[in-house]
Amino acid sequence: MKVTWKLPGGEAVTAQADYGQNLMEAAQANDVPGIVGECGGSLACATCHVHVAPEWTEICGEAGEFEDAMLDLVENKQDCSRLSCQIELAPQLDGLVVSVPAD
């Protein structure tokens, strides 16, 4: 499957990702700048923040309660904010587009 990360500078990274990975892991595997993922997906660092493109927000779903509380800590929180380690990649997300917020 494919995922596209739009970067703050205007460029974008489109890369192949695997089902079963989460979106943070896919970003790390492709060295996407700005997605650090320090806690390895333990919901403990909020360094994997993305804005989900409008056409994908519904399919991605909403942040869970704890994730939402963590998102209160990031700069640039928006309604479409998610922590990407909490998005499991699955067939219905093929083609997913997210952007990496400037920090």
Which residues contact ligand FES by CB under 6 A? 24, 37-39, 41, 43-48, 83, 85
Which amino acid appears at position 103 of this protein?
Answer: D
Q: According to CB under 8 A, which residues from 58 to 97 bind other proteins?
A: 66, 69-70, 73, 75
Which partner, ligand FES, other proteins, none, binds residue 85 by CB below 5 to 8 Å per kind?
Answer: ligand FES
Which residues in 40-79 are b (16+ Cβ under 10 Å) and which e? ebeeebbbbbbbbeeebbeebeebeeebeebbeebeebee
13 binds other proteins (CB under 8 A): no
- Cα 67-69-74 angle, rounded to 5 deg: 90
Q: Which residues bind other proteins (CB under 8 A)?
A: 28, 31, 38-46, 66, 69-70, 73, 75, 103
